[in-house]
Structure 1
Amino acid sequence: MDQDGRDSFEIPKEVRSMAEASFDQARKAFEHLLASAQQTASTIEGKGATVRAGAKDLTTKAVSFAEKNVTASLDYAQQLLHAKDLSEVMRLHSEYVQTQMKSLAEQANELGQIVGHAALEAAKPKT
């Protein structure tokens, strides 16, 4: 018995060794998990920069296309104001629609390429 009158309890050496080994394993596993989490966070931050750059390119291009399309529409409206007769209005309309359809197809293609490029960059492993 110890000084308080209670039996003292001693952990057997084998159990203590097993507990220490388990504790060491748990610490190493935690350190590994923490290192992996930090690496993942860094990767995500890097991807975020890549995605932001792609989004900026996409936004810049979309604004450029919007300006071009508005300018084309204003030019078309001005031409309509100066049309002399219905046949000229129909010709102007036909030309405008054809030009805009071609332009919109090109713009959609270009935007698709930007999105595709940004997706490929975001998917690349960080070196």
Structure 2
Amino acid sequence: MSDNGRDHFEIPKFEIPKDMRSMAEASFGQARQAFEKFVSTAQATAGTIEERNASVRAGAKDISSKALAYAEKNVQSSLDYAQSLLKAKDLTEVMKLHSDYVQGQMRALAEQASEMGQIVSRAAMDAVKPKG
């Protein structure tokens, strides 16, 4: 119980029960399929609206397309993160996965905000250009 005169405590191993892991993985699979179906339906709907309304500007189309792409990427990233947590072997791995996920999301959100700002600026400039 002691190691060189010091007490040695073992941290209990963190493990998700096999049945719960299987059930959670199945749920994530269903969530991923539902999300993919939602995205394809949303894209089809957006395309139909744009076809019906010829006055929709290219800038607005770029903004909505980019926003949808960002939403899809962010949800996929969240699903991947949640699924990776199911496979974590211990609390240390859970903490590393969480740290990596948060850092990755912060980078992605900063990039997305920058890109969206550029797209909005271009659309605003195009909207005020004299027709001619």
Give your verdict on TM over 0.5. yes
2:94 equivalent among 83, 89, 98: 89
Partner of 1:71: 76
Larger radius of gyration: 1
Answer 1 or 2: which has greater helix percent: 1
- Cα drift, residue 55 of structure 1: 1.1
- AA at the equivalent of 1:121: D
Number of equivalenced pairs: 79
Identity %: 67
Choose the corresponding residue for 1:116, options 112, 118, 121. Answer: 121
State the 4+ residue runs in structure 1 displaced beyond 3 angstroms.
Answer: none
Per the alignment, residue 98 of structure 1 pairs with 103
- 1:125 has 2:121 as partner: no
Mark the runs of 5 or more structure 1 residues left unpaired by the alignment. Answer: 1-47
Give the 3-state SS of the residue equivalent to 2:88 in structure 1.
Answer: coil
- Look up the match of 2:112: 107
Partner residue of 1:61?
66
Return the TM-score normalized by structure 2: 0.57
Q: How many angstroms apart in 2 are the aligned matches of 1:52 and 1:122?
A: 8
Match of 2:109, as an amino acid? L
